[in-house]
Chains A and B, each alone.
Chain A
């Protein structure tokens, strides 16, 4: 798979996870990704952060510093209204595309 598609799917995954589970910090998001996609989308853990920062810069996420139970600070991300809307649109687009691909594969 090409990187940009992968990036696209990573974005989508992040948005999906956050839309389901509300606010999460970086490590929790990474765990969730692992849980959902197994090894398939496993990338360097660090590359999650530029992606999060980009989504934040684009106004799809907002972030704030929280204090975890153990007293450590962590940066927690959640969807903005714009992010929610964007996600809905993206989800719809992806399912159309994947449907089409599935049909093509069946036909062949």
Chain B
């Protein structure tokens, strides 16, 4: 309060001064009354000015007063040179905006602590495994029977929670209305309790709502959904709605700010886990993450060991189902798997997993751009300070303290940074959602609450100060170190100033090269991946995802195919179990007589005749499937029956040394002890399977079996986009009981495969351009400044007969040497950083000559372009004019 009082005094400055004057007058008057002379009284009083200053300092919070006047002065300085100020503010704003946006994203996706009780003691369970490429990975999705077995084992030592994957559902929220999209999450009955959450309205799902499978059609809506969809209506409790064929009753509204356990997704409706009836008794149907909160006194490791024991036992049982001739490597890999517990205080989601690295890499790039912008502004201010040396010297000689000068310059820097942050925050508010939109796949959009927390504001404020110190401190200290005598005499330009500018220039170039380098790696990764030969043609190819009520034989699906073939504009139609590059995988254990079993089983896909034709996958030998071909299978009595298969080139390479495999017979394992013979009837070129990054693997195509869910491939003669509706209608016309879940272009699957690479490439390219522009401006500024400072010297030299080229070299050589130095440092740093980003790259290495060459060429070009105008200006200096100007 007292501080506040002094602060208020700031605005009462004049009154305080008047008060002082009157009090002093009163004192002197009384002295006179008591018989002293005027002079005597004044002398006894002492230095009135000094006393008044002291008194005023006490009352006015001296530094604040000074600060205010510095701010006013700084503002005037900024306005005095609008071009420089605007350039500095804009470049800083861009960098600060990008940094702020990056922080908001990282904060929202990776760092924000869940609004639950004691988040530090929350964990989620994952099982490690070695993937097909030999890399360590983990699975964090579980099935219900496994959960039950862990829960029984952990009983009184840990709380185990089911946190379902947030999934999109259609729901009819008001009777008779159109279905709406809602995001639903299954949760175990103890989840809200363990999270320590309180309902905003009604009640939350409790242990009693999670007992009888299918017996608790109750739902809790999230606070956010309640406000958005129901306008905060209290009547929502007790309402019923239809979702996934069930009528649900809303029993309550969740607490404000809680939108589920998956950053990147926001749950609208929470329902009890036991309502996922079919999944409860299905081992291997993984549909939730398993969260753990050890009970008080139980450590995380103790809780883990309890579950690990169960995990181990189940694994040993599983091993009994392995065929006797399973390669040892497969068994070892399987038995090396173990259970781990990972911290879950910031939630767990696929978005986190997929974008953790890209986000950190991008934030590093953003940081570099910020540094470049800061060095740029630092250089501008240093040059500016040169022009203000006289002013500073004057201030020092009339008694301003050094510290006071530092404050003066720092306040000005802070003003710059503050304005830039204000602008940058606007930029961030616009750009962060744009980046979020780049993360998403249409079926599953990423939904993030952005930039709402005090942490986000705190970051912006801290960033402002950080940036101001970064670019302002060096010029500030320089200003305070001014030597009045030499400066006022108009003395020579200090060498240390030029040195400062050169060091900053070299740093800037190094940062810039680093950004170019990394951006180059990501852009060529994206380029190579998106231009990778797929083995089939994606143009004008539509994929319809069709669902029947139950599994149907291929013949009944073929009716639809026949009908589609007759549709105008259709060139070819075929079916498969799922589209390539959709992420689905199926591996088949095969044995080829005379060849040792491979540790890595070939991929498999069920297809119908004319699949290869429709996809434009070239037949290398043999024939396509006939309508009568069947896959190797077991009959009703579980006896193996032979069938036909088609294999790809990679299969022939590995199992038949590249010879034509048509006519050969391989054994396809159908259960632990049973295998069927399969005759290879055809041989096709390689095509990508599940992941676009994967090399071409051996693959077996089988005639498609009875299925309830099929993908139709339709090759159109013309533009496919308009045909989507037609396709939907046609399927509905033939069989009204079939549901077309989705129609997409096959190219969309390719796009989604490279989403992450596209994000990295686009943003890093953007940052590279910004960095380049800033570095160019920086170099131009330094050179231009050098020419201006040396005009007289250059004039004399020219008068003495120096040729223009020599003059140009003299002026530019220093800064250009710094550019070269920065280039070298930046490249070194780039190659070192290349390691860090290696896992994000595809067929590109940090040590590739092309990766190194690109940034060098680009930077040299920019350096030349930036250096040329000032150098030419130096060469054209007229000796007479330059000498007359002084």
Interface residues in B1-46 (C-beta closer than 8 Å to A): 2, 5-6, 19-20, 22-24, 26-27, 29-31, 33, 44-46
Pick the contact of A58: B2, B19, B46, B51 (CB < 8 A): B2
- Tell whether B55 is near chain A: CB-to-CB under 8 Å: yes
Q: A54 to B45, Cβ gap below 8 A?
A: no
Q: Are A57 and B58 closer than 8 Å at their CB atoms? A: yes
Q: A44-B46, A46-B47, A50-B54 are in contact. Are A70 and B33 (CB under 8 A)?
A: yes
Q: A55 — nearest CB in chain B belongs to which residue?
A: B58
Q: Which of A72-80, A84-92, A96-104 contacts B (4 or more CB under 8 A)?
A: A72-80
- Tell me if A45 counts as interface (CB < 8 A to partner B): yes
- Does chain A have a CB within 8 A of B864? no
B46 touches A54 (CB 8 A): no
B47 touches A57 (CB 8 A): no
Q: Is the Cβ of B23 less than 8 Å from the Cβ of A26?
A: yes
Contacts of A73 on B, CB cut-off 8 Å?
22, 26
Does A94 have its Cβ within 8 Å of any Cβ on chain B?
Answer: no
Interchain CA distance A58-B3 in the complex, whole Å: 10
A74 and B33 CA atoms in complex are apart in Å by 14
Write out the residue numbers on chain B whose beta carbons fall within 8 Å of the beta carbon of A74. 23, 26, 30
B-contact bits for A11-55, CB 8 A (1 contact / 0 none): 000000000000001110010000000000001111101100110
Distance, CA A30 to CA B44, complexed state (A): 11
Residue of B nearest to A31 (CB): B34
- Tell me what chain B mostly uses at the interface: helix, strand, loop, or mixed: helix
Which residues between 47 and 94 of chain B lie within 8 Å of chain A, taking CB atoms?
Answer: 47-48, 50-51, 54-55, 58-59
- Of the candidates A25, A54, A57, which one forms a contact with B26 in the assembled complex, judged by CB atoms under 8 Å apart? A25
Tell whether A46 pairs with B24 under 8 Å between CB atoms, given A27-B30, A54-B58, A72-B29: yes
Residues of A within 8 A of B33 (CB): 70
Contact A26 B27 (CB under 8 A): yes
Given contacts A53-B58, A57-B6, A57-B58, are A46 and B26 in contact (CB under 8 A)?
no
Residues of A within 8 A of B58 (CB): 50, 53-54, 57
Cα-based distance from A44 to B50 in the complex (angstroms): 11
A57 surroundings in chain B (CB, below 8 A): 2, 5-6, 58-59
Q: B44 touching A44 by the CB < 8 A rule?
A: yes
Chain B residue contacts of A8, Cβ below 8 A: none
Complex alpha-carbon distance, A27 and B55, angstroms? 17
- Known contacts A44-B45, A58-B2; is-contact A53 B30 (Cβ 8 Å): no
A57-B2, A58-B2 are contacts. A49–B55 as well, Cβ < 8 Å?
Answer: yes
Q: How far is the CA of A70 from the CA of B30 in the complex (A)?
A: 10
Contact with A along B520-550 (1 / 0, CB 8 A): 0000000000000000000000000000000
Q: Which A residues are CB-close (under 8 A) to B55?
A: 49-50, 53
Q: Is the CB of B45 within 8 A of A46?
A: yes
Closest residue to B54 on the A side, CB-wise? A50
Q: Are B59 and A46 in contact (CB under 8 A)?
A: no
Residues of B near A50 (CB, < 8 A) are 51, 54-55, 58
Contact with A along B840-866 (1 / 0, CB 8 A): 000000000000000000000000000
Q: Tell me, in angstroms, the Cα distance from A43 to B50 when the chains sit together.
A: 14
- Chain B positions within 8 Å of A25 at CB level: 26
Q: CB-CB < 8 A to B47: which residues of A? A: 44, 46
When C-beta atoms are compared, the residue in chain B nearest to A42 turns out to be B44
Residues in A whose Cβ lies below 8 Å from that of B54: 47, 50
Q: Kindly name the residue among A27, A43, A46, A54 whose own CB sees the greatest number of chain B CB atoms within 10 A.
A: A46
In the complex, what distance in Å separates the CA atom of A73 from the CA atom of B22?
Answer: 8
**CA A22 – CA B794 in complex, angstroms?**
78
- A-side contacts of B6, CB under 8 Å: 57
Q: Which residues of B contact A49 (CB under 8 A)?
A: 20, 23-24, 27, 51, 55
Contacts A25-B26, A27-B30, A57-B2: A45 and B59 contacting too (C-beta < 8 A)? no
CB within 8 Å for A46 and B46 given contacts A27-B26, A53-B58: yes
Question: Smallest CB–CB gap between A34 and chain B, Å?
Answer: 11
For B31, the chain A residues whose CB sits under 8 A away are: 27, 45
Please indicate the chain B residues that have their CB under 8 angstroms from the CB of A44 in the complex. 44-47, 51
Apart from A45-B27, A49-B20, what 7 extra A-B contacts exist at CB < 8 Å? A45-B46, A46-B48, A49-B23, A49-B27, A59-B2, A72-B29, A75-B22
Closest 10 A/B residue pairs (Cβ):
A44-B46, A50-B54, A46-B51, A46-B46, A46-B45, A27-B30, A50-B55, A53-B55, A74-B26, A45-B45
Complex A-B: 10 CB contacts under 8 Å: A27-B31, A43-B46, A44-B44, A46-B27, A47-B51, A53-B58, A58-B2, A72-B26, A73-B22, A75-B26
